Structure formats: structure tokens, C-alpha cells
Amino acid sequence: MSNNYQKEEYKELRIRDVILYVKSFISHLIPKWKWIVLVGVLFGLFKGLMAYMTPLSYSENLTFMMDESKKKGGFNPADILGGIFGGGTSSGDNLGKILQLFESKKIVHNTLFDSVSLDGKKDFLANHFLDYYDISFLVKDYKWPFIPVYKVAWPKVLLDHQDFRFDNDDLDNFSNRENQFLRLLYEKINGNPIAGIPPALNSQLNEETGIMAIRMTTQHEDLTLGVLNNVYKQLSSFFIEKSVEKQKKTYRIMEFKRDSVLAELKGAEYSLADFKDSNRNLVTVKGYLRQIRLERQAAILNVMYAEVVKQLEATDFALRNMTPVVQVIDLPRSPIVPTIVSWKRAFTTAFIMGSIIAIVFFIVKKIYDDIMVE
């Protein structure tokens, strides 16, 4: 009986101590409510101002998939992809690899130097980028927020060339200045983790359905559509070209062989006709023997030509059967609904986070002070 009473008394004391301990913290925080609100307001103003200054962004998706309808006839997109990338395992792994091509410099560079018409002006997509974004805006991404210090130094030299535009697409012979601007645009699209620049172009794969998607985000609707459509076109062309490269080589060899046999056949037929015209009253055995040889040569070449044509047709059929089909599911179209960052929501969220940080700071400080006093 005595033990039960002591346990209940101990339990009651513990609850009482906890309540008193919590009340002591509340009493400690109440006089500091102005500081808590001030910290919350400062955080809220900072994030709200950042949201207010953030321009509208236009994001859109393009989804597509590989046509596997020819798999029964020997076509398998996974096998082709495995050949392009040096071997692969599952179809999902290989389809994932093709999405990595969107990030490659080859595909992005080809996209940037594809001529497109925007606002009635036909030019390289790279120059459209420089028209829509001025150089100062692009270079600003490499600076720390609110301080004139660059995370990386090389972009600031481009500020002296505000009117720069590309006048050719010969990337192999670009000057150092042209390569710097090309890198500036590439990192605008593909991001730069070192400089803290997020990628504007992203891709994803649904491994269950095999549906692939690419997403582009810019501050200009025309640029979003231009990049999406052209990067898809460049990638699909590259993929189709690489997937049938071996079959095309075989087809060209067969074409050359057909033309060679046809030329020899025409020569043999002409020689036979010329011989018969010159020897209409043939009576010699030697002449008759030469005629037999010419006829035999023409017959052999005729059989060879028929066989080469047959093989060429078979090669052409195989080439067409092996050519993959990239099917677009959803094509991006105008208009795109812009994404707006709400400064009110940003302010509220940051205010709450700032207030919590201030409260945690004062609680930790009180605990520390209490320990030091003891």
C-alpha cells in the first residue's frame, strides 16, 4: 500500500515538474516575442522579395516513346540502344541512357544551332536566346545573391560584349570568345552544379510504360517551345541514324556492287552486239567460239545482276524494318500557362520558419544558461 502511494506521488511530481518546466520556457519566451516576430518578419521579407523579383516561368513537357511494334520481326529498341551505348541490360536501363543524351553537348549544341523562326525572325536558336535574355541577365546567374561577387570568374568578361551574336555554326573552329558564349548558353540549359545554376532541361522515364518525357523551363514561352521541339528532333535524328548505321553501310556496299555489275553487263552486251553486227556471215570456228564466250559472259553477268538486285531489295527491306519509330505522345503547344511564385505564400512560410528558428535559439540559450548556473 505504501509503495503504491509512493509511486503515485512520484508520478504526480514528475508531471508537475514537466508542466513547470514548460511554463518556465513559455515565461522566458513571452518577453522576447518582439525579437521572435522581428526575426520572422526579416526572413519573410527576404523570401517574399526573392519571390516578387522572380520572373514568370514557362514550363512544358514533351512525352514520347519507342515504337516496339516491329519487335516480332527482329526489331528491339533495347538491342539497338545497347549497340549505341556499348551494350546494355534491360530495356529500362537503355531507355534511361537515351535520356542522358539530352544532356550531352552534342545534342544541346546541335539544338542551339538549328535555325528556327521566333517572332517572325529566322535565326540560330542560340541567337534567339541572346535576344530574349540579355548578357547581363545570363551572367548574373554566376553571382552570389545581393553581393557583387562571382562564384566563377570567367563569365564576367562577357559583360563587355553585350551585342555578341553567332554568325556561323562551325563549332570546331570557334574562337575562344565564341566558345565562352556557347558554354554560357549550354549551362543555362543544362545547369552548372558548381555555380549553383539549376538545369532548365530535365528528363524522366517511366520504366513500367517505357514513356519518356523532357521538360523545359524558361522565362519566355517561345524559347521553351523552341528548345523542346528542337532538342527532341535532334535526339530522335541522332538515335535513328546510329541505330541503322550498320544497315546503311551494308546497303551502300550493295548499291555499289549493283552498279558495278550493271556496268560490266552493259559492256558485255555491247561487245556481243558489236561482234554479231561485224560477223553476220560467220563461218569460222574461232569466230563461233568467241560468240559463245561473249554470250556466256553476258548470261553470267545477267544472273549476277539479278542476284545483286534481289539482295539489295532484301537489304532495303531489312533497313526499313530496323529503322525505329519515335512516337510523340504529347507535343508542347502554345499558349503555356506561366508559373507565378506567390510572394505572400513565400512571406508566410518564411515568417513561420524564421519565428521557429528564433524560438529554438532562445530555448537553447536558456538551457545553456541554466546549466552554467548550476
Q: Indicate the range of 57-61, 242-246, 336-340 predicted with least confidence.
A: 242-246
Binned at pLDDT 50, 70 and 90, residue 80 comes out as: very low
SS3 content of the chain, % helix, strand, coil (to 5): 65, 10, 20
Distances (CA, A) of 214 to 28, 57, 84: 53, 16, 21
Which three cell numbers, joined as nine digits, stand for 282? Answer: 560467220
Instruction: Report pTM.
Output: 0.61
pLDDT of residue 374: 63
Say whether pLDDT at 99 is over 80.
Answer: no
Q: Are 264 and 301 in contact (CB under 8 A)?
A: yes
Say whether pLDDT at 74 is over 50.
Answer: no
Which three cell numbers, joined as nine digits, stand for 368? Answer: 545553456
pLDDT of residue 83: 45
Percent of the chain scoring above 90 in pLDDT:
4
Say whether pLDDT at 53 is over 50.
Answer: yes
Binned at pLDDT 50, 70 and 90, residue 338 comes out as: confident
Say whether pLDDT at 94 is over 60.
Answer: no
pLDDT of residue 52: 73
Output the CA torsion sign for 297, 300, 306, 311. negative
End-to-end CA distance of the chain: 37
Query: Which residue is it, cell 532541361?
Result: 201
Percent of the chain scoring above 70 in pLDDT:
77
Say whether pLDDT at 97 is over 50.
Answer: yes
State residue 327 phi and psi, 5-degree precision. -100, 125
pLDDT digits (tens, 9 = 90+) for 122-165: 889 889 888 888 888 888 888 887 677 888 888 888 988 888 99
Cα distance between residue 86 and residue 212, in whole Å: 21
pLDDT digits (tens, 9 = 90+) for 159-214: 888 889 999 888 888 999 999 999 999 988 888 888 888 888 888 877 777 788 88
The amino acid at residue 216 is M
For residues 17 and 335, the model is more confident at 335
Query: Which residue is it, cell 517511366?
Result: 206
Say whether pLDDT at 357 is over 50.
Answer: yes
Q: Indicate the range of 51-65, 89-103, 269-283, 333-347 predicted with least confidence.
A: 89-103
Say whether pLDDT at 78 is over 70.
Answer: no
